[in-house]
């Protein structure tokens, strides 16, 4: 209101009305008529309390903007709280995922070590089984060679004895064999 009262004399002082020709306070001077109209317009505005209404509207608008700012600030704080909550949850989930990965890695390493040990035991068992089979095959071959050697030796001895044996030598051998058997039977 004080600004308006100060603006009126300044507007009048700076008006181009002073540069007009002829008497200034005449209704034939357009500058004077414009000045009167302007003053009347300002007076009507002041009478109708337009500046007060404008100020009230501006104050109301400022209050609305302030309440919107407060609401926006509250929403921002709530959003920051929610964001912090989600960041904590994300961190927890990441930590849990890392624990799961670590557990899985440990279990995989353990399973790999167990599988390696089981494979080692299986290989040792198969090697032992193979060694045993080789030994059995070797023993079977040795027995077969012995049996064959015995058969060949018996056959060769039979042929040699058959060619060299006379009736008298045969009787002597039979008598000796009977004596050996009798001696062995008496001992038991």
Q: How far lies 2's CA from each of 7, 10, 42, 118, in Å? A: 9, 13, 13, 101
CB 4 within 8 A of CB 51: yes
In a domain, 143, yes or no: no
For residue 80, being part of any structural domain is answered with yes
Number of domains in the chain: 1
* Tens digit of each residue's pLDDT (9 = 90 or more) over 26-76: 888 899 999 999 999 999 999 999 999 999 999 999 999 999 999 999 999
Is 5 within a domain?
no
Residue 133 lies in a domain: no
Side-chain half-sphere CA neighbours of 153 within 13 A: 6
Q: What is the pLDDT of residue 48?
A: 92
CA-wise closest residue to 27 among 18, 36, 19: 36
Indicate if the pLDDT at residue 173 is higher than 90: no
Per-residue pLDDT tens for 174-184? 888 888 888 88
| Distance between CA atoms of residues 91 and 85, nearest Å | 10
| Residue 62 belongs to some domain of the structure | yes
Q: In degrees, to the nearest 5, what angle opens at C-alpha 20 toward C-alphas 14 and 21? A: 150
Q: Compute the radius of gyration of the chain from its Cα atoms.
A: 66
**Cα separation of the two ends of the chain:** 154
* Separation between Cα atoms, residue 108 and residue 138, nearest integer Å: 44
User: How many residues are given for the chain?
Assistant: 188
The answer to whether position 12 is within a domain reads: no
pLDDT of 169 > 80? The answer is: no
- Determine the Cα–Cα distance for residues 119 and 112; give it in Å rounded to an integer: 10
Does residue 145 lie within any of the structural domains?
A: no
Q: Is residue 56 part of a domain?
A: yes
Cβ neighbours of residue 35 under 8 Å, at least 6 residues apart? 12, 15, 17
DSSP run (H or E) holding 188: none
Convert the pLDDT of each residue in 71-125 to its tens digit. Answer: 999 999 999 999 999 999 999 999 999 999 999 999 999 999 999 999 999 999 9
Compare 1 and 46 and report the one with higher pLDDT.
46
User: 96: domain range?
Assistant: 29-115
Query: In angstroms, rounded to a whole number, what is the distance separating the alpha carbons of residues 47 and 53?
Result: 11
């Amino acid at each position: 209101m004080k600004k308006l009262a100060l603006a009126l004399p300044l507007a009048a002082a700076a008006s181009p009305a002073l540069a007009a020709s002829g008497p200034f306070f005449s209704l034939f001077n357009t500058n004077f008529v414009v000045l009167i109209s302007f003053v009347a317009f300002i007076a009507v505005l002041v009478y109708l309390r337009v500046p007060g209404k404008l100020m009230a509207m501006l104050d109301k608008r400022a209050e609305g903007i302030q309440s919107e700012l407060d609401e926006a600030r509250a929403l921002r704080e709530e959003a920051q709280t929610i964001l912090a909550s989600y960041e904590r949850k994300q961190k927890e989930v990441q930590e849990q995922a890392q624990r799961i990965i670590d557990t899985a890695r440990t279990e995989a390493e353990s399973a790999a070590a167990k599988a390696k040990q089981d494979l080692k035991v299986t290989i040792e068992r198969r090697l032992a089984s193979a060694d045993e089979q080789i030994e059995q095959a070797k023993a079977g071959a040795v027995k077969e060679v012995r049996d064959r050697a015995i058969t060949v030796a018996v056959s060769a001895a039979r042929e040699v004895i058959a060619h060299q044996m006379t009736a008298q030598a045969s009787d002597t051998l039979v008598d000796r064999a009977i004596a050996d058997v009798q001696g062995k039977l008496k001992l038991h």
